[in-house]
């Protein structure tokens, strides 16, 4: 199918001039609208404005430009039906073989502070989506272009094929075009259904921040790759990325070497990365089956790794390791001695790269270190979707309330804050023993808190780590005193927990009985 006439109407004009020049060089007639026509004319291109083409001027402040039979007839007429071609010929409507359109910047508009409902409404495109959908529907005879990244390859294909584009190319463009309009409409629906109805009474006033949860939630993700399998070999899986990248998220990884990532690799890598990037000082997090089995801070990446690894050398086997600093040669040498699935860092030194080059199966992931968060956390349930805001609460000393006779020392307070930060990333029920900027024992995912406490103490004993003088974090309140009894017997001297139990008085009395310092945060960190 040779391209003879193209309609170009763009909000985002990146690359538009070069694309139009390329089309004109191949003898394609150009139609255009408003600002795009002005741009092309000023560049010396021969272009017909849409009002001159239809014989009907643009009107209503540009709301009506391309909604005309001479536009849509030329796009929608089927080239394989003689009666369609006869009809448009009878009405002097030539075919339009290529439509290049992108839409009013609705998402960019509503992202601005102080946006009004009136501003948002005026940036809802009508004619653009209509043309995109018309051209995409008739892909057998029309090429629809919505992405500036497609300009160069399309011109190259036309040059190689006498001005024609293949059916495969046109079908691919149609799929992209319907995705483009679907996501555009989704953005409008999400924003409008997130607004209180009262905003319509004063559309010129700054719209309030939309409700956290739209009444009708539309989601959009791009498939990055199809994975070998899911959590288990009999399950199929794929990895999708947000269409609007979240800064610093694991989905922005750049893989330097290693085998393809698996479903479990990506899930565990996310858990490791989200935990390690919360620390300001050099830190290392080792994850196994979605739980931290070792977390530590140090003066260097090597020191942080050595301390984290000591927490649980058994569980660290085949784990995921994340650093919040460049991985240098000394740290890489230490990590390379163990069996590890994935290593994550903001960057890897050339020496570290050389060390891991000898272990080509180890996946190395570079991820930009930015502390941004997803707008929503999502979890599928049968027939529905749970949506929540991310847990961004990081306890500060000013948040703490000392509830026991004994207050923690400055050193104990540091350990408590460290332990509570780690507990946020441990599956509930979570108990974390810490000391000296490292985890000593982690109890995760038990049905009772006292069992998590016992397991954490047992794991520390198995690792040969003393809990004498340790600090303990609990992700939620102690429902009974038994958990406090166990951690005190293990050697802990300070406890941090949210508080809020019906038996808080009993639990505090137990802490006083054992001579513990206990502080309440007022905020729990359940993680399921």
DSSP 92-113: T-----EEEE----HHHHHTST
Give the number of other CB atoms < 10 A from CB of residue 395.
20
Q: Is 72 a catalytic residue?
A: no
Q: Which of 137, 259, 310, 359 is catalytic?
A: 137
Cβ neighbours for 291, distance < 8 A, ≥ 6 positions apart: 271, 425, 426, 427, 442, 444, 445
CA-to-CA distance for 268 and 272, rounded, in angstroms? 6
What is the per-residue burial (b if ≥16 Cβ within 10 Å, else e) of 98-132?
bbbbbbbebbebbeeeebbbebbeebbbebbbbbb
326 and 229 Cβ atoms separated by less than 8 Å: no
Alpha-carbon gap, residue 139 to 213, rounded angstroms: 37
3-state secondary structure of 286: strand
* Bridge-based pairing state of the strands 363-366 and 340-345: parallel
Residue 390 neighbours by CB distance under 10 Å: 12
> Which residue among 13, 41, 259, 289 is the active-site one?
289
CA distances (Å), origin 475, targets 153, 437, 453:
54, 18, 12
Answer yes or no: 137 catalytic.
yes
Kind plus residue range of the DSSP H or E element containing 90: helix 82-90
291 bridge partner residues: 288
- The answer to whether 527 touches 426, Cβ cutoff 8 Å, is yes
Segments of 228-314 assigned E as strands? 237-242, 254-257, 283-288, 291-297
Q: What is the 3-state secondary structure (H, E, C) of 22-58?
A: HHHHCCCEEEECHHHHHHHHHCCCCEEEHHHHHCCCC
How far is CA 120 from each of CA 182, 191, 321, 390, 422, rounded to the nearest angstrom? 18, 9, 44, 27, 42
- Residue 243 tokens, joined: 């269409």
User: Where do we find the tokens 């394989």?
Assistant: 80
Q: What DSSP character marks residue 270?
A: H
Q: Strand (E) positions, 189-282?
A: 221-227, 237-242, 254-257
Residue keyed to tokens 């590890």? 340
Q: Where in the sequence numbering do the catalytic residues fall?
A: 137, 289
């Amino acid at each position: 199918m040779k391209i003879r006439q193209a309609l170009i109407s763009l909000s985002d004009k990146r690359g538009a001039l070069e694309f139009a020049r390329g089309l004109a060089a191949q003898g394609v007639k150009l139609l255009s609208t408003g600002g795009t026509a002005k741009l092309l004319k000023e560049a010396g291109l021969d272009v017909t404005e849409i009002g001159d083409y239809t014989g009907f001027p643009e009107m209503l402040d540009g709301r009506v430009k391309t909604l005309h039979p001479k536009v849509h007839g030329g796009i929608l007429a089927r080239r394989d039906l003689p009666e369609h071609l006869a009809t448009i010929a009878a009405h002097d409507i030539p075919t339009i073989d290529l439509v290049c359109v992108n839409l009013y910047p609705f998402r960019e508009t509503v992202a601005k502070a102080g946006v009004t409902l009136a501003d948002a409404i005026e940036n809802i495109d009508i004619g653009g989506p209509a043309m995109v959908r018309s051209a995409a529907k008739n892909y057998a005879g029309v090429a629809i272009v919505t992405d500036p990244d497609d300009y160069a390859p399309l011109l190259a294909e036309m040059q190689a094929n006498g001005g024609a584009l293949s059916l495969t190319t046109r079908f691919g463009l149609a799929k992209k075009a319907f995705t483009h309009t679907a996501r555009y409409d989704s953005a409008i629906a999400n924003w409008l259904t997130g607004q209180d109805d009262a905003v319509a009474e004063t559309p010129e006033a700054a719209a309030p921040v939309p409700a956290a949860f739209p009444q009708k939630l539309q989601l959009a993700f791009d498939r990055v790759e199809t994975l070998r399998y899911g959590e288990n070999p009999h399950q199929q899986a794929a990895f999708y990325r947000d269409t609007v990248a979240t800064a610093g998220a694991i989905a922005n990884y750049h893989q330097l070497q290693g085998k393809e990532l698996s479903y479990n690799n990506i899930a565990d890598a996310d858990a490791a990365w989200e935990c390690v990037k919360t620390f300001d000082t050099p830190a290392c997090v080792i994850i196994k089956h979605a739980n931290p089995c070792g977390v530590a801070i140090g003066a260097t990446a090597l020191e942080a790794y050595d301390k984290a690894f000591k927490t649980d050398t058994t569980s660290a086997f085949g784990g995921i390791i994340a650093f919040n600093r460049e991985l240098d040669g000394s740290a890489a040498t230490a990590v390379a001695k163990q069996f590890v699935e994935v290593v994550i860092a903001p960057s890897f030194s050339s020496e570290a790269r050389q060390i891991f080059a000898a272990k080509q199966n180890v996946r190395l992931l570079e991820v930009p270190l930015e502390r941004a968060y997803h707008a929503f956390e999502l979890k599928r349930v049968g027939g529905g979707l749970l949506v929540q805001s991310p847990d961004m609460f990081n306890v500060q000393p000013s948040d703490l309330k000392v509830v026991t006779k004994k207050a923690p020392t400055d050193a104990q307070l540091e350990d408590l804050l460290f332990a509570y930060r780690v507990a946020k990333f441990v599956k509930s029920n979570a108990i974390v023993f810490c000391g000296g900027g490292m985890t000593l024992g982690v109890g995760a995912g038990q049905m009772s808190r006292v069992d998590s406490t016992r397991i954490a103490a047992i794991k520390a004993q198995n690792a040969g780590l003393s809990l004498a003088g340790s600090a303990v974090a609990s992700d939620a309140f102690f429902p009974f005193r038994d958990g406090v009894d166990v951690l005190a017997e293990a050697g802990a001297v300070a406890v941090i927990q949210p508080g809020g139990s019906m038996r808080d008085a009993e639990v505090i009395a137990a802490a006083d009985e054992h001579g513990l310092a206990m502080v309440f945060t007022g905020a729990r960190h359940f993680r399921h």
